[in-house]
């Protein structure tokens, strides 16, 4: 009798109660098993330095690095790992960004256990899974918002690089700027666009065809 394959999972979220909820969900599963948990991006990447789980279930907004950067890093070092994005962001533009980054699923946090399991099963088949609620949401039309916000060419360049997951240090080298100047641009861009963080900035970049 052949042994049943158990797929190992790392879960990452900065809310303790949510991590506990995931552990309860998977405690009753025989096919999937949580082997590690993290509350920030740094711990996720540190775990992958010496381990190779089959899945990584991650949130988008976590202490550095964020979900976009984590996904890119995991797929670069462990291409076999299936990245499942579990988030509160009901935004088709984020789905587009993560699919390009190699994620295997985009699931909303208000989904039930059955849908999360469907996402994992679909990932194993090589399919990209999207929450049912997102599948009926039309994408936002391009409305020339970039021009209306009077973004400079340099600011657009920095937005594009940030959307690719590049750090301020890397951007400074590519654009021949100081890290201080890049960080100043980042703050100015977020303020100008009325955004809170890089995650929202990536959504903006996708929506306005800057990627």
The alpha helices in the chain, defined as continuous H runs, are: 16-27, 41-48, 67-77, 92-100, 113-124, 132-135, 145-148, 153-163, 168-175, 179-193, 198-207
User: What ranges do the domains of the chain cover?
Assistant: 7-135, 145-207
DSSP H or E stretch at residue 12: strand 7-12
User: Cα separation of 177 and 106, whole Å?
Assistant: 35
Q: What is the pLDDT along the chain (211 residues), one digit of tens a residue?
A: 557 789 999 999 999 999 999 999 999 899 999 999 999 999 999 999 999 999 999 999 888 888 999 999 999 999 999 999 999 988 888 888 898 889 999 999 988 899 999 999 999 999 999 998 886 544 443 345 556 667 777 888 888 888 888 888 988 888 888 889 899 988 988 888 888 888 888 887 777 766 6
- Give the tokens for residue 169: 């240090």
Superfamily (CATH H level) for 7-135: Response regulator (3.40.50.2300)
Closest by Cα among 146, 84, 92 to 118: 84
CATH number for the domain whose boundaries are 145-207: 1.10.10.10
21 contacts 37 by C-beta, under 8 angstroms: no
One fold for both 7-135 and 145-207?
Answer: no
Q: Is the pTM of this model over 0.75?
A: no
């Amino acid at each position: 009798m052949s042994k049943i394959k158990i797929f190992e999972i790392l879960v990452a979220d900065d809310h303790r109660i949510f991590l506990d909820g995931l552990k309860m969900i998977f405690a009753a599963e025989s096919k999937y098993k949580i082997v590690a948990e993290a509350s920030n991006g740094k711990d996720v990447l540190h775990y992958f330095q010496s381990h190779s789980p089959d899945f990584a279930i991650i949130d988008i907004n976590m202490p550095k690095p964020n979900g976009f950067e984590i996904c890119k890093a995991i797929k670069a070092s462990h291409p076999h790992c299936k990245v499942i994005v579990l988030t509160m962001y009901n935004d088709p533009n984020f789905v587009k960004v993560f699919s390009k980054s190699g994620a295997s699923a985009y699931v909303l946090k208000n989904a039930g256990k059955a849908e999360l399991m469907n996402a994992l099963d679909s990932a194993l088949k090589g399919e990209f899974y999207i929450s049912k609620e997102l599948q009926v949401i039309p994408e936002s039309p391009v409305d020339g918002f970039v021009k209306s916000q009077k973004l400079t060419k340099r600011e657009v360049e920095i937005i594009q690089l940030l959307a690719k997951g590049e750090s301020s240090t890397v951007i400074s080298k590519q654009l021949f700027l100081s890290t201080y100047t890049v960080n100043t641009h980042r703050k100015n861009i977020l303020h100008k666009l009325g955004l809170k963080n890089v995650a929202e900035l990536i959504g903006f970049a996708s929506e306005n065809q800057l990627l």
